[in-house]
Amino acid sequence: MEFTNFHKLLTQHMESILQGKTYVFTVDVEKDVLWDTYLNSFPDGTNQMYRKRREYDCGHCKQFIRGFGNVVVIQDNKLVSIWDFDAESTTFQPVIDALSSTVKAQAIQDIFISKEKLVGVKVNRELLEDGNVLTWEHLHIILPLALVTKSSDSAEALKAKKRDVKNVFMRSLMEITSESVETVLDLINAPKDEKLYKGDEWKGVLKEFLRLQKEFLSIDEVLRNNYCWNTSVNIGGVVGKIRNHSIGTLLINLSKEMNLEVAVKKYENIVSAGNYKRPKPIFSAKMIEAAEKKVIELGLEESLERRRATLEDISINNILFANKDATKRMKKSVFDELKDEVATSSKSFNNVQEIDIEDFIKDMLPSTTSMEVLMENRLSSNLMSLIAPKNAGCKTMLKWDNNFTWAYNGNVADSMKERVKKAGGKVDGVLRFSIQWNDNQDNEDDLDAHCIEPDRNLISFPVKTIVQPSSGVLDVDIVNPKKKVAVENITWSDINRMQDGEYQFIVHCYSADRETRSGFTAEIEYNGEIYHYEYAQPLRQDEKITVARINFSKKNGIKFIQQMPSTKSSQDLWGLKTNQFQPVSVFMLSPNYWNEQKGIGHKHYFFLLDGCEDETQPNGFFNEFLREDLMEYKRQFEALGRKMCVELADNQLSGLGFSSTKSNSMVCKVTDSSSTRTIKIKF
């Protein structure tokens, strides 16, 4: 009778806590531990031997306790076990108290899964020797229908799915910062041409995640695991596994304090397969507001405004060399101007004297009266500008004792090479073949870049993104330009894997716009030399044009067998002709090494060139330049650095820059009082 009343109260308690639940949970406790706790917690004298076993040592009850005794529900983020009730019995109360303590001392391990409505055995009957029938009652529960699964998946598979969602959800809550979520929501709510690409579809998800994260962070840390289990089973995989989605990549990168524009670009490359081009730099409204508040607080408003530096801004103490004759330009005859247009190949200087930059400064620079550098195509990313504060005498934001910064170009704006980079192609390999078409943006031609390698292997769109044994790969393939400028790109990254022999570069017209067919431009680049081709005639459907045939060898490089008429490999960059010698007006170290400073950060060497004019809009400053006390607001200052325009200036100090941390070289003509020598400076 005592067991019957105990079981009645247990059943009432279980029905009460299970009511309305779609999921319940199990804790990580060994099944035999539960059963031993049950048997060994009866008060002395209450669980005596009956026949061959103790009175409450029942095989059916054992299976129930082993299979259902570790079930819990979560209420107010705390565990409630099936044993948390008043047994109204001095015999059973110690037993359920011990079971409750054992269960709630452990963490949730899984959801509980049952494909049967009945857990346990209700009763069984025993026929006694005297003919009477003895009925035995056992621990059992009839589950609510919501807790009985009809899925054809195994119980383990169902548990694994829910466990995965819970684990990812908890990682998301802990690793994604609320600031990153709010930043992304700001980007989604931005004006049309500035908003996050395909961000609207995540707006509701992000708001819900932010709400859940605030709940999560507001509760005691010891209860957060329970919260995540209880929440994850009901929110589904989109919110629950947000860090695994494309938007999650953006959130994680922002949480790791990645540059905002870089993080957004990585996200947009995922969701747009490289075809989406952001029309404007991206900023969060809250970032700008926070930055403005901090700038005013620190009195740095005037320090933000930047412009190109000129010679008038710097003193003789800031420079290592100034070519007084460089600015005295003699009027040239038309024949001299034609001579200047002939490109100079860097290959012709392979055997000149090499000298380390520091040895050059120490041993050669003191006697140098003039200097010229060979502006090679490959040095386009070394183009730089010196940046000065617009307001002289303003407070410095920088780590060093002056207010000058610098900005590198890093690319050639609007060039085919830059378009390839923006489309996700690599432009820094051994050999590159790129094509561009639809410059007038009024047709839908589909042109394809092909290359036939020495072993007759064809690199073209059927094997796009697949790296060939030669290391060659078609990494940009535009199928439908949709009336936009389009590019395709084939590049080889490993000279040791490339085959010696003939390479044939072809443009194939896969489909032609019948109304407005167009031609194309193409580039072949090897070892910094760029060969540019223009084909002005429209292509017919399935027409193939051979741009060039080259012979390649690892020993001798490339030699042209056949090629279309090529424009000279010299380009116009920042007002300079490439592959020609350009006079150096000033040679200096970067501002962080001026005035005999010991140096803060990496050293850079600046060769400022006559006539070099940067017309881009670089950052006025970068976070790595800023004082340590501003680093708490680095996200905001990063936005400000991009937002503040650098004013153009006549006679700006721009030229070539080289970092002491990156290997590089530059061919240079150095003149002293007695001779002119050509050398190669090594960095």
CA distance 27 to 71: 7
- Whether residue 400 lies inside any domain: the answer is no
pLDDT value at 328 more than 60: no
Note whether 612 and 538 are same-domain residues. no
Dist. CA 279–CA 213, nearest whole Å: 33
| Mean pLDDT in residue range 231-256 | 91
Residues 558-587: pLDDT tens digits?
Answer: 999 988 876 545 567 788 888 789 999 999
Higher pLDDT, 240 or 292: 240
Helix (H) or strand (E) holding 6: helix 2-18
Model pLDDT, residue 497: 94
Of 250, 179, 264, 253, residue with least CA distance to 213 = 179
- Pairwise CA distance, residues 334 & 344, whole Å: 19
Four-CA torsion 423, 429, 433, 436, nearest 10 degrees: 20
Note the pTM of the prediction, 2 decimals.
0.49
563 lies in the same domain as 424:
yes
DSSP per residue, 295-351: HHHHT-HHHH-EEE-BGGGS-GGG-SEE-TTTT-PPPPPHHHHHHHTS---GGGGTT
Map tokens 């721009």 to a residue: 654
- The pLDDT-based confidence of 639 (bands split at 50, 70, 90) is low
Q: How many CB atoms are located within 10 Å of the residue 434 CB?
A: 26
Residue 18: count other Cβ atoms within 10 Å of its Cβ: 18
| Residue 296 located in a structural domain | no
Q: Are residues 336 and 257 in the same domain?
A: no
My answer on whether 246 and 319 are in the same domain is no
N- to C-terminal Cα separation, the chain: 93
Q: What is the pLDDT of residue 336?
A: 47
CB burial of 598-622 (b: ≥16 within 10 Å; e: otherwise) equals eeeeebbbbbbbbbbbbeeebbbbb
Does residue 167 fall inside a structural domain?
yes
Amino acid type, 409: N
Does residue 616 sit within a domain? yes
Write out pLDDT tens, residues 174-219: 999 999 999 899 888 877 666 788 888 899 999 999 999 999 999 9
119 and 177 share a domain? no
Q: What angle do CA 431, 437, 442 make, to 5 degrees?
A: 165
Identify the pLDDT of residue 232.
93
Same domain, 264 and 174: yes
pLDDT at 338: 44
Give yes or no: residues 329 and 343 share one domain: yes
Pick from 570, 602, 621: which residue ends a domain? 570
Q: How far apart are CA 155 and CA 587, in angstroms?
A: 73
Tokens encoding 645 = 């325009």
Say if residue 440 is exposed, middle or buried (CB neighbours under 10 Å; 0-12, 13-18, 19+).
exposed
Domain boundary among 97, 131, 147: 147
Q: Tell me: the pLDDT tens digits for 461-491?
A: 999 989 999 999 999 988 777 667 889 999 9
The lowest-confidence range among 72-76, 293-297, 432-436 is: 293-297
Q: Give the integer Cα–Cα distance in Å for 80 and 675.
A: 92
Residue 626 pLDDT: 83
Is residue 277 scored above 80 in pLDDT?
no
pLDDT given at position 483: 65
Confidence band for 88, pLDDT divided at 50, 70 and 90: very high
Would you tell me how many other CB atoms lie within 10 Å of the CB of residue 223?
15
> 204-213: which pairs have CB atoms within 8 A and are 24 or more residues apart?
205/238, 205/239, 205/242, 205/247, 206/181, 206/247, 208/235, 208/239, 209/172, 209/176, 209/181, 209/239, 209/242, 210/178, 210/181, 210/182, 210/185, 212/173, 212/239, 213/173, 213/176, 213/178, 213/181
424, pLDDT greater than 90: no
CB neighbour list of residue 97: distance below 8 Å, 6 or more residues apart: 41, 83
Query: In this structure, is residue 370 part of a structural domain?
Result: yes
Pairing verdict, β 108-111 and 78-81? unpaired
- How deeply is 396 buried, as exposed, middle or buried, from its count of CB atoms within 10 A (0-12, 13-18, 19+)? middle
Of the residues 94, 121, 147, the one at which a domain ends: 147
Q: Do both 373 and 465 map to the same domain?
A: no
Share of the chain above pLDDT 70, in %: 85
Cα angle for residues 77, 217, 284 (degrees, 5° grid):
145
Count of the separate structural domains present in the chain: 4
Residues 224, 120 share a domain: no
- Tokens 């680049």 label which residue? 525
Judge whether 137 lies within some domain. Answer: yes
Burial label for 69, CB within 10 Å (0-12, 13-18, 19+), is buried
Q: What is the pLDDT of residue 52?
A: 61
Domain hosting 40: range is: 2-147
* CATH number of the domain enclosing 422: 2.60.60.30
- Per DSSP (E only), the strands in 515-619 are 520-526, 529-535, 544-553, 557-563, 566-567, 572-573, 576-577, 581-589, 604-609
Q: Name the least confident of 23-27, 127-131, 456-460.
A: 127-131
Burial class (CB in 10 A: 0-12, 13-18, 19+), 465: exposed
Rounded average pLDDT over 153-169:
92
Average pLDDT (271-281) is 50
Of 641, 663, 672, 679, the residue nearest 260 (C-alpha): 641
Per-chain mean pLDDT for the chain:
84
The mean per-residue pLDDT over the stretch 56-75 comes to 91
297 lies in some domain:
no
Q: Establish if 216 belongs to a structural domain.
A: yes
Strands (E) across 145-219 are located at: none
581 and 565 share one domain: no
Residue type present at position 311: L
What is the C-alpha to C-alpha distance for residues 39 and 621, in angstroms, rounded to an integer?
A: 73
Both 446 and 531 in one domain: the answer is yes
556 in the same domain as 439: yes
